[in-house]
Chain A
Amino acid sequence: MELDALYQEVILDHYKHPQHKGLHSTYDAQVHHVNPSCGDEITLNLALMGDSISSISWDGVGCSISQASVSIMSDLVIGKSVNEARVILDNFVELMQSKGLKTGDPVILEDAVSLAGVSKFPARIKCALLGWMAYKDAVLAASNK
């Protein structure tokens, strides 16, 4: 069933046990992103140490796809360099735009490949990208600081 391609176990796991949720008090940049068509919201704090992402913490409300996706993203990019994270982000965006034709590179995207099924549901792509776009904004703001 198409629905099972969307709601993989990994996604429901992250939804029920979100990683890095709860905002840290110290950060280099804080961003707030909203999905105006549905009301999903996320606040994301990001800290850099030199060129690497030392911490991401977040809080938000939203559907399982948006919440799991930000949890997976946080897990993935914490500890990576900004450049490494950019490769991951680009890969993920490409996967989301693939209309179900790509499965994603598990070496680069790890758990995020479980979100591949989202690309078949145009209305949900923005859910999956919410946290990633917040990250993109935050890392830019922190780098310019």
Chain B
Amino acid sequence: MSELDVATIRKDFPIFTRTIRDGKKLVYLDSGATSQKPQSVIDAEVNFYTKHNAAAHRGAHQLAEEATEAMESARQIVADFLGADVDEIVFTKSATESLNLVAYSYTSLLTKDDSIVVTEMEHHANLIPWQQLAERTGATLKWFEVDIEGRLDLSDINQVITEDTKIVAITHQSNVLGTINPLEAIVARAHEVGAVVVLDACQSVPHMPINVKELDVDFLTFSGHKAVGPTGVGVLWGRSELLEMLPPFLFGGSMIENVTMTSATWAPAPRKFEAGVPNMAQIVGLGAALNYLSRIGMEKIFLHEVKLGAYLIKKLSALEGLRIIGPQHMDARGGTVSFTFGDIHPHDLGQYLDAQGIAVRTGHHCAWPLTRKLGVPATTRASLYFYNDEGDVDALVDAIIGAKKYFGRP
């Protein structure tokens, strides 16, 4: 398999032509927070507003027809990308909204005798909605712990996922540790007790081939903006029978079948979950984004990131005082690497890196219970994507060495 030509790929991303601070080259290592956008995605949004803008699924005119067609084509692109049926694709404004949608919609379906299972490595967006669902329904919240290497401890899987478990909500790939979770065992146990699996795939859909039927999960969500798409659009995929069974979360225009002054009935999914005029330009942009990723090839992207991740870990590990928080080898791991460095606080390190043109994330990465468990109030995180190369890693490592000198000055 031929390797990615990163130099050519970067030409698709106009942001790489600008400089940072005092004319420094941009080294963007924060794709775990949001990815950069290729020109084709920017053009798709501009083109929608320039030529086709109207309210989709409303209006009796040509523009409304074209807007509807553009939006529904994007839905088909998403469905094909995930190996799903088109009616199983719900557009939301974010993955956070998708997770809240599922959690709210399950309110009437859970009782105090039920349990919900999460993990200690969840992003707040896949933790708090379930905490709140447990609070509303009286259900018990349980979780898998994380071991010292940053892997899920599944040794007590039959005690965590039990006969009363109705929902197992889990991240596919940790946004802090880079850990890719072993779904097979978890899905098998969840289905054994009749629970549904809700997969937070924000950090996996942009980075590896995903097929919802092969994963055998029940719900999956990701956000457009982490997959070279626009902000303001998220995807919720759900098995059609589950989407049919679930009550809606947001009420309003376009999600109805019939309305009287005192009652309403719902349109079939996915429309049932898409109240209000949707973020059409962003949905169209997401379609362009997934087409772009498909042209590059998800398998190639994954292999590139694993290879580059191995290089990053090797180079970081060689630095004295640097501690990688998470798996130390690339087995079941993506290209997101968190670390601490001596007694330089991550904010200070991040600030120094920024002055060299290097963009990283610092803090607890919206996964506070996890960083607490691992005994680090904050970390520095470098997250790779297919437009990064070894030169970016070398720049990071050189700058970390520079930071030691800078902050160590007498």
List the interface of chain A (C-beta within 8 A of B).
1-3, 6-7, 12, 37-41, 61-65, 121, 124, 127
**Nearest chain-B residue to A61 (Cβ)?**
B377
Distance in angstroms between the alpha carbons of A2 and B355 in the assembled complex: 8
CB <8 Å contact, B407 and A121:
no
CB <8 Å contact, A40 and B348:
no
Q: Is B189 an interface residue (CB 8 A)?
A: no
The prevalent SS among residues of A at the interface is mixed
**Nearest chain-B residue to A36 (Cβ)?**
B368
Instruction: Name the residue among B345, B362, B371 with the largest chain A CB count within 10 angstroms.
Output: B345
CB <8 Å contact, B351 and A12:
no
CB <8 Å contact, A3 and B347:
no
**Known contacts being A39-B364, A39-B371, A64-B345, is A6 close to B351, with CB within 8 Å?**
yes
**Known contacts being A1-B355, A12-B409, is A39 close to B368, with CB within 8 Å?**
yes
CB neighbours of B363 from chain A (8 A) = 37-39
Distance in angstroms between the alpha carbons of A127 and B21 in the assembled complex: 21
**Nearest chain-B residue to A121 (Cβ)?**
B351
CB neighbours of B351 from chain A (8 A) = 3, 6-7, 121, 124
CB neighbours of A41 from chain B (8 A) = 377
Distance in angstroms between the alpha carbons of A40 and B22 in the assembled complex: 29
Distance in angstroms between the alpha carbons of A124 and B347 in the assembled complex: 9
Distance in angstroms between the alpha carbons of A37 and B363 in the assembled complex: 7
Distance in angstroms between the alpha carbons of A41 and B363 in the assembled complex: 12
List the interface of chain B (C-beta within 8 A of A).
21-22, 345-348, 351-352, 355, 362-364, 368, 371, 377-378, 406-407, 409
CB <8 Å contact, A62 and B345:
yes
CB <8 Å contact, B355 and A63:
no
22 contacts between A and B (CB under 8 A): A1-B22, A1-B355, A2-B22, A3-B352, A3-B406, A6-B351, A7-B348, A7-B351, A12-B407, A12-B409, A39-B363, A39-B364, A39-B368, A39-B371, A39-B378, A40-B377, A61-B377, A63-B348, A64-B348, A64-B407, A65-B347, A127-B347
Distance in angstroms between the alpha carbons of A127 and B362 in the assembled complex: 13
**Known contacts being A38-B362, A39-B371, is A2 close to B377, with CB within 8 Å?**
no
Distance in angstroms between the alpha carbons of A39 and B406 in the assembled complex: 24
For the complex formed, measure the closest distance between the CB of A33 and the CB atoms of chain B, giving whole angstroms: 14
CB neighbours of B352 from chain A (8 A) = 3
CB neighbours of B362 from chain A (8 A) = 38
CB neighbours of A121 from chain B (8 A) = 351
CB neighbours of A38 from chain B (8 A) = 347, 362-364, 378
Q: Taking A38-B347, A40-B377, A63-B348 as given, write out 20 further A-B residue pairs in contact, using a Cβ cutoff of 8 Å, ordered by the A residue number.
A: A1-B355, A2-B355, A3-B351, A3-B406, A7-B351, A7-B406, A7-B407, A38-B363, A39-B363, A39-B377, A40-B347, A41-B377, A61-B377, A63-B345, A63-B347, A64-B347, A64-B407, A65-B347, A124-B347, A124-B351
Instruction: Name the residue among B352, B363, B409 with the largest chain A CB count within 10 angstroms.
Output: B363
CB <8 Å contact, B21 and A2:
yes
Distance in angstroms between the alpha carbons of A121 and B363 in the assembled complex: 17
Instruction: Name the residue among A1, A6, A37, A39 with the largest chain B CB count within 10 angstroms.
Output: A39
**Nearest chain-B residue to A12 (Cβ)?**
B407
5 closest A-B pairs by beta carbon, nearest first, are A63-B347, A63-B345, A38-B363, A39-B364, A3-B355
Distance in angstroms between the alpha carbons of A40 and B363 in the assembled complex: 9
Distance in angstroms between the alpha carbons of A37 and B350 in the assembled complex: 14
For the complex formed, measure the closest distance between the CB of A93 and the CB atoms of chain B, giving whole angstroms: 20
CB neighbours of B378 from chain A (8 A) = 38-40
CB neighbours of A40 from chain B (8 A) = 347, 377-378
CB neighbours of B21 from chain A (8 A) = 2
For the complex formed, measure the closest distance between the CB of B22 and the CB atoms of chain A, giving whole angstroms: 7
Distance in angstroms between the alpha carbons of A73 and B355 in the assembled complex: 27
Distance in angstroms between the alpha carbons of A38 and B361 in the assembled complex: 10
For the complex formed, measure the closest distance between the CB of B8 and the CB atoms of chain A, giving whole angstroms: 33
Distance in angstroms between the alpha carbons of A2 and B354 in the assembled complex: 11
CB neighbours of A2 from chain B (8 A) = 21-22, 355
For the complex formed, measure the closest distance between the CB of A84 and the CB atoms of chain B, giving whole angstroms: 31
For the complex formed, measure the closest distance between the CB of A137 and the CB atoms of chain B, giving whole angstroms: 21
**Nearest chain-A residue to B378 (Cβ)?**
A39
CB neighbours of B368 from chain A (8 A) = 39
Distance in angstroms between the alpha carbons of A117 and B387 in the assembled complex: 34
Distance in angstroms between the alpha carbons of A83 and B377 in the assembled complex: 35
Distance in angstroms between the alpha carbons of A75 and B351 in the assembled complex: 26
Distance in angstroms between the alpha carbons of A70 and B74 in the assembled complex: 52
Distance in angstroms between the alpha carbons of A121 and B21 in the assembled complex: 12
For the complex formed, measure the closest distance between the CB of B216 and the CB atoms of chain A, giving whole angstroms: 36
For the complex formed, measure the closest distance between the CB of A12 and the CB atoms of chain B, giving whole angstroms: 7
